[in-house]
Amino acid sequence: MHGLIAPHGGKLINRLVDAATAGKLKSEAQGLPRINLTPKQSCDLELIGNGGYSPLTGFMGKADFESVCTKMTLAGGDVWSIPVLLSVDKSKAPKVGDRVALHAPNGVLQGVMTVTETFPHDKKLEIPNVFRTEDPAHPGAAKVLEEGDTCVAGPVDVLTLCVDPEGPEAFLDMRLTPIQVREQFKQRGWKTVVAFQTRNPIHRAHEYVCKCAQEIVDGLLIHPLVGETKAGDIPADVRMECINILVANYFHPEHTLVSVLPAAMRYAGPREAIHHAIMRKNYGCSHFIVGRDHAGVGNYYGTYDAQAIFDEVDGDNLGIRPLKFEHSAWSKKYGGMVSQKSFPWTEGDIINLSGTKVRDMLKAGQRPPAEFSRPEVADVLIKWAQSTG
């Protein structure tokens, strides 16, 4: 393994079939019952297929589901924090032993599954455990409430990873599988790699924590999430344009790699921080940046809850090391980026803008201060903000 971290569970799963098998499965699928995947389920199927969800080989059964909800481990003991379920309407649920065709939201045949188990989708168990709230307005909880009442479990054979290669979120040149990312690390001679997760453009505080982390490892994987996000989030193609401009101008090319993660956001805060870390372990990263309100939404989670949860799981089994960063911003007095740990914050000294304030500035065609956002990034966001009205 060239010294890279071992995948979660010890073995990198690959459920993507070869071209000959894909041809046979396409023929078989024409006579199979059809399940139309939601965007979240389609993202999950891609990550099962490419090994990002190792050690999963298919959608979870009841024992794994209940263990994940109550203990944050799979039934076999490996740390796991988010259920990965294929839930359908009870009236459309296949029987154990059936083969079913899994179609992406755009109609593309994405996989074929052998049903080994069906069980009721216990949303009253999942929602409070995973999201730490039962508020139906929480975007992750709302998605679960919309899902079917019967879960279908079993191993999958995946025909295609990117179901929409012409789509705005395909990024085929950066849509690298865990095998491909690990190969990139090997070619660059990296043994220790830190991953940075984001669903937003990178502003100066993000850049600062990435640079701090780079000092202690061989390389940085900037790994933005491009799967399903909620309405109101900045579109993936805009975010990627911002990231590519930033990296080209302000990061060292020999120590930085950009790839994309085709995962759906759950907005589950602490639990999702663990989930994001496990995926990056599978992609070959030894360290994972956990910042302020990681994967949070609204006021559902405390500022550093997503850091504290790493102390609740078996760190040896988790394997990947969290790097916990304080809230960072530009200090006028200090003349640079500081965290609340490295320099005292005083009223009027710290340049720290709210998301609402930044959006108002962008829509008005104004760049936020250069101490908050790089001007090249701001210009991309201004163009987007003004195009959305």
Tokens (6 digits) for 199: 């669903």
Please classify residue 363 by burial: count the beta carbons closer than 10 Å to its beta carbon, then call 0-12 exposed, 13-18 middle and 19+ buried.
middle
Query: What is the spatial distance between Cα 242 and Cα 382, in angstroms, rounded to a whole number?
Result: 11
Low-confidence ranges of the chain (pLDDT < 50): 1
Query: What is the spatial distance between Cα 370 and Cα 353, in angstroms, rounded to a whole number?
Result: 12
Query: What is the spatial distance between Cα 22 and Cα 17, in angstroms, rounded to a whole number?
Result: 6
Query: What is the spatial distance between Cα 167 and Cα 246, in angstroms, rounded to a whole number?
Result: 23
Integer angstrom CA distances of residue 49 from 42, 110, 250: 11, 10, 34
Look-up of token digits 């996000």: 229
Would you call 199 a catalytic residue per the annotation?
Answer: yes
Contact between 203 and 332 (Cβ < 8 Å): no
- 244: phi then psi, degrees, rounded to nearest 5: -65, -40
Query: What is the spatial distance between Cα 373 and Cα 353, in angstroms, rounded to a whole number?
Result: 10
Tokens (6 digits) for 234: 């900045």
pLDDT of residue 2: 53
Query: What is the spatial distance between Cα 217 and Cα 328, in angstroms, rounded to a whole number?
Result: 20
Contact between 283 and 195 (Cβ < 8 Å): yes
pLDDT of residue 1: 42
Integer angstrom CA distances of residue 358 from 19, 230, 336, 354: 48, 19, 20, 6
Would you call 367 a catalytic residue per the annotation?
Answer: no
322 cis-preceded (ω within 30 degrees of 0): no
Query: What is the spatial distance between Cα 334 and Cα 339, in angstroms, rounded to a whole number?
Result: 11
Task: Exactly one of 36, 99, 188, 200 is catalytic; name it.
Answer: 200
Query: CA 73 from chain center: how many Å?
Result: 19
Contact between 376 and 246 (Cβ < 8 Å): yes
Q: Is the dihedral of CA 316, 317, 319, 320 positive or negative?
A: negative
Task: Using a cut of 0.95, tell me whether the model's pTM lies above it.
Answer: yes
Task: Exactly one of 15, 199, 204, 292 is catalytic; name it.
Answer: 199
- For the chain, the helix, strand and coil percentages under 3-state DSSP, each to the nearest 5: 35, 20, 45
Contact between 60 and 126 (Cβ < 8 Å): no
